[in-house]
Structure 1
Amino acid sequence: MSPVAPHEVEDIEIQLLLEALFQRYHYDFRHYARASIKRRLLQARTHFGLPSLTALQERVLHDPEMLPQLLGFLTVQVSEMFRDPAYFRALREQVLPHLRTYPSLKVWIAGCSAGEEVYSLAILFREEGLFDRTMFYATDINPDALRAAEAGVYSLDRIRKFTENHQKSGGRTSLSDYYTADYGRAVFDKSLRTNVVFSDHSLVSDAVFGEMQLISCRNVMIYFDRPLQDRAVGLFKDSLARNGFLGIGSKESLRFSRHAGAFADFVPEEKIYRRREP
């Protein structure tokens, strides 16, 4: 029998570890882009000082308290408020005038991470006079991320960038109106959370939970393989009201999805689409 190369052994270990996570905890990373998931698992192995991915699998299977730490590696928690300001400017100037015609609105932030985009949209809708008639659904699979999002506390050294992005997005107020500085932290006003529901939801396995006028899912699908991207786009299609809007990340595309025909370009340069009439 010919020897197995180390990278082939690692690939087997990854497959077994992802299957173990699914069977034991019902977190399904089996259809995430393999190169990305491999890089993050190797980082986790190093962080925990383990000799192999098999050892990492054994630890997480027998120590449930280790799961949240591993999820921190497997789910990307890198974002900022008003990230890609032109996207938020396009929402403000081109999408919200259409949403203004609805008596009530539902907005889904899928893969909300630590909440930066949630507060960005809450502030934008408040500035445009739509906050009070809007319910925001902020979802993620990482419970630690959801707790951070609900707390709305960020390091003060991030605020300069947040403020710059907010201004570039067409902000009508000062970002400082929405937070208080406290011991090196910026604590965002709890009034921004009055219309927000934070909830666990997986694009891999969960179903439609409401009819939305706007879905923003940015820089999430980039970590999925093609079949899982297709599932997510189908979920968004089924979740959008007639003529509802979908925003995705700048490096993402609907082009290869079998559901692409359900969407029309709306602001193509900012990856904002509109649900076609059924």
Structure 2
Amino acid sequence: MEDEKIEDIEIRLLLEALYRRYHYDFRNYAQASIKRRLRQARDRQGVATYSALQDKLLHDPAAAAGVLRFLTVQVSDFFRDPSYFKAIRETVVPHLKTYPSLKVWIAGCSAGEELHSFAILFREEGLEDRTLFYATDINQDALEAASRGIYPLDRMKAFTENYRLAGGKASLSDYYSTGYGGAVFDKSLRDRVVFSDHSLVTDAVFSEMQLISCRNVMIYFDRDLQDRAVGLFRDSLGRGGFLGLGSKETLRFSEHVGAFSEFVREEKIYQRRQA
């Protein structure tokens, strides 16, 4: 028990050091998740304690980058949860088609699987030419991977099935070629994408959006941080705009819930109220 208390103190100090030295704020992330990832980072760095890990990241930016890779989750799929994308296609897109121009924010874009899914969907629905996508993450490695659009070939079978279930109108293979040891997705899918470092924890609104998709990110936040993120989404969305969350996320307990109405309840798609 005493050792656990000491570890908790060490972790709090390490997260404070990470924020003050590099301006990445994980202090209000869910503690169970943070502990698990920091344990992996500590073992990978070959040190015995979190205090030793703190000393290393304070004096070695390369070590800090390694720790950040453990603290930021980079797991996604093309058309992950296909029913979500099917609902976007069938219920949200008809509303979006009434706008002369669109801005779509993929928050926590990871390595770009969800971004490319939306780019393909919008191309098939005739919205691509009027849409500007913002793909943001706090992990520079992830942003670089997203901007390359190259994924392992052994993942294509699952991606293709998700695409079919999401209501795809062609074949997923129409959008990629093979090369560089993987599936290289058409560069034109990224022609209207702005990739940017943005933190839901510390950064502010940067534009007015018609659609925000932030899925499986807030499950790693504590309640206060979740409220901050939802407030940011509220302020970023134009009236009548749409917000999509992950299957295990909800606005039900947020202090900002009154700003939204449930649009497709089972898929966690919400609409910014008009008034």
Normalising by structure 2, we get a TM-score of 0.99
Which secondary structure does the structure 2 equivalent of 1:12 belong to? helix
| Aligned equivalents of 2:258, 2:63: Cα separation in 1 | 42
Identify the match of residue 142 of structure 1 among 126, 139, 143.
139
Which secondary structure does the structure 1 equivalent of 2:211 belong to? strand
Q: Is the 8 A contact 1:68 1:144 kept in 2?
A: no
| Aligned equivalents of 2:79, 2:69: Cα separation in 1 | 23
Letter in structure 1 aligned against 2:50: L
Ranges of 4+ aligned residues in structure 1 off by more than 3 Å: none
Q: Is the 8 A contact 1:87 1:270 kept in 2?
A: yes
Q: Is the 8 A contact 1:230 1:259 kept in 2?
A: yes
Q: Is the 8 A contact 1:266 1:272 kept in 2?
A: yes
Identify the match of residue 180 of structure 1 among 167, 177, 182.
177
Residue correspondences, number: 275
Provide closer, same or farther for how the CA distance between residues 149 and 68 of structure 1 changes in structure 2, counting only shifts above 3 A.
same
Letter in structure 1 aligned against 2:86: R
| Aligned equivalents of 1:276, 1:8: Cα separation in 2 | 45
Q: Is the 8 A contact 1:77 1:145 kept in 2?
A: yes
Q: Is the 8 A contact 2:45 2:63 kept in 1?
A: no
Deviation at 1:184, TM superposition (A): 3.2
- Listed as ranges, the gaps of 5+ residues in structure 2 are none
| Aligned equivalents of 2:4, 2:124: Cα separation in 1 | 52
Q: Is the 8 A contact 1:107 1:212 kept in 2?
A: yes
Identify the match of residue 193 of structure 1 among 190, 193, 197.
190
Letter in structure 2 aligned against 1:167: R
Letter in structure 2 aligned against 1:202: S
Identify the match of residue 63 of structure 2 among 49, 63, 66.
66
The superposition leaves residues 154-193 of structure 1 with CA deviations (integer Å, 9 ceiling, x where unpaired) of: 1001111110000000000111111111253001110000
Per the alignment, residue 29 of structure 2 pairs with 32
Which secondary structure does the structure 1 equivalent of 2:135 belong to? strand
| Aligned equivalents of 1:174, 1:12: Cα separation in 2 | 52
Deviation at 1:67, TM superposition (A): 2.1
Which secondary structure does the structure 1 equivalent of 2:167 belong to? coil
Residue 207 of structure 1 pairs with residue 204 of structure 2: yes
| Aligned equivalents of 2:250, 2:199: Cα separation in 1 | 20
Letter in structure 2 aligned against 1:81: F
Letter in structure 1 aligned against 2:111: A
Q: Is the 8 A contact 2:178 2:184 kept in 1?
A: yes
The root-mean-square deviation of aligned C-alpha atoms, in Å, is: 0.8
Letter in structure 2 aligned against 1:90: A
Letter in structure 1 aligned against 2:56: R
Normalising by structure 1, we get a TM-score of 0.98
Letter in structure 1 aligned against 2:131: T
- Listed as ranges, the gaps of 5+ residues in structure 1 are none
| Aligned equivalents of 2:210, 2:12: Cα separation in 1 | 38
| Aligned equivalents of 1:205, 1:91: Cα separation in 2 | 29
Residue 155 of structure 1 pairs with residue 152 of structure 2: yes
Identify the match of residue 103 of structure 1 among 100, 111, 132.
100
Residue 168 of structure 1 pairs with residue 165 of structure 2: yes
| Aligned equivalents of 2:36, 2:129: Cα separation in 1 | 42
Q: Is the 8 A contact 1:116 1:149 kept in 2?
A: yes
Residue 225 of structure 1 pairs with residue 228 of structure 2: no
The superposition leaves residues 58-117 of structure 1 with CA deviations (integer Å, 9 ceiling, x where unpaired) of: 111000122221111000001010000000000000000000000000000000000000
Letter in structure 2 aligned against 1:66: A
| Aligned equivalents of 1:204, 1:137: Cα separation in 2 | 17
